[in-house]
Amino acid sequence: MFQSSLLATWIHVKMLYCIEEHCPRRVVRRDCCILGRGAAEATRRAVVSSQGVEWHPTMKDLPQSERPRERLVRLGASSLSNQELLAIVLRTGVTSCTVTKMAEDLLAAFGGLQGLARASIDQICQHHGVGQAKATQVKAALELGRRVLNEGPDEKPQVSSPQDVANLLLLEMAPLEHEQFRVILLDTKNRVLTIKKLYDGSVNKSLVRVAEVFREAVRQNAAAIVIVHNHPSGDPTPSAEDVRVTQEIAAAGKLMDVDVLDHVVIGRNRFTSLKERGLGFG
C-alpha cells in the first residue's frame, strides 16, 4: 500500500514539475496540501531539482531488519560495523542525508575512528549536518570507549610485558598530534602505582631531565618504572634520540636502585619495545 502511494506521489510531483518547472518549491508545498497524510509525508522527502525528482529516504523507510538500533538489539553491538555504531550515536540525519550516510561520510573524512578521536569538536562540526550536539555525542562516546579499556577491576593492573603497557596507553596516546612523555610507576610486583605525564612536545635528550623522571618514583617509593612516549607520525620506530634518552635513564635507574623495565614507543595501532630490540639497555 505504501509503495503504491509512493509511486502515485512521485508521478504526481513529476507532472506538477513539468507544468510549473520554474516554481518547484511551490509545487511540492501545494502537493503536500492536496495529498493524503501518507503521500504528503513521502512528498516532503521528494526534492524537485533540475534533473527531476530525487528521493531522499529516512531511517523509517528502511526495513526494521536494516536499521542500526534494531540490529544492535537483535544481534548485539559486536555485530555492527563502525558506521552503524556511529549512526546510533549521531541519532538523526538531515533532510538530504540519512544518519547512516552521515556516519559513513564522517569516517571517510577523518580516516576512521582514530581520526575522529584526534579531531576537535570544531573540526567535526564543519561536516555537513553535524552541529555541536552531534559532535559532542561522538567525542563523549569515543572517550567512554577509551575509559572502559583503562578501567580494570579493583586490583591494580600489572605490567609484565610491552603488550600490557600498550593495553594501558595505546588508545589514549596513539591519536595525539604532538609527542608526549609519560612514566609508569610500579611497585615490587610490577603493579601500577600511577602514570605520570612529564612532557608535551619533542622528546629529546636536551629536554628530558633524568631527575624529573625519577622524582615521582622516589616520592612514591616505586620499585620500577616504564617510560612511554608516542610518535604522532604513527610510525613507532625508535629514533637515535630515543635510544640516547633511554641509555641515560637506564643508567640513572641503576644508580638509584629503580629498575627501568622498558621504553615503549607508541604509534598508530602499534608499538615498539626498545628493551625487546636491545636498544638503550646495556
Q: Residue 153: which residues within 8 A CB-CB, separation 6 or more?
A: none
89 residue type, one letter: V
Angle at CA of residue 247, ends 241 and 252, nearest 5°: 130
Residues 172 and 210 in one domain: yes
Instruction: Give me the pLDDT at residue 66, please.
Output: 81
The structural domain count of the chain equals 3
Q: Note whether residue 282 is domain-resident.
A: no
Instruction: Give me the pLDDT at residue 19, please.
Output: 41
Among 67-81, 196-210, 249-263, the minimum mean pLDDT is found in 196-210
Among 42-56, 109-123, 175-189, the minimum mean pLDDT is found in 42-56
What is the tens place of the pLDDT at every residue in 185-214?
Answer: 999 999 999 999 988 876 665 567 888 889
Q: Determine the structural domain holding residue 91 and report its residue range.
A: 61-149
Nearest 5°: phi and psi at 229?
A: -145, 165
Burial 161-180 (b: 16+ CB within 10 A, else e): ebebbbebbbbbbbbbeebb
- Per-residue pLDDT band at 244 (split at 50, 70, 90): very high
Residues 25 and 91 in one domain: no
Better pLDDT: 238 or 154: 238
Q: How far apart are CA 50 and CA 173, in angstroms?
A: 49
CATH value at residue 90? 1.10.150
What is the tens place of the pLDDT at every residue in 158-179?
Answer: 999 999 999 999 988 998 888 9
Q: How far apart are CA 181 and CA 266, in angstroms?
A: 10
Residues 257 and 212 in one domain: yes
pTM above 0.75, yes or no: no
Instruction: Give me the pLDDT at residue 151, please.
Output: 64
Residues 195 and 116 in one domain: no
- H helix runs in the chain, sequence order: 2-19, 24-34, 37-44, 68-75, 82-90, 99-110, 113-118, 121-125, 132-150, 162-173, 210-219, 240-256, 274-277
Instruction: Give me the pLDDT at residue 152, please.
Output: 58
Mean pLDDT rounded to a whole number for the chain: 80
Among 98, 115, 149, give the residue marking a domain's end: 149
Q: Note whether residue 99 is domain-resident.
A: yes
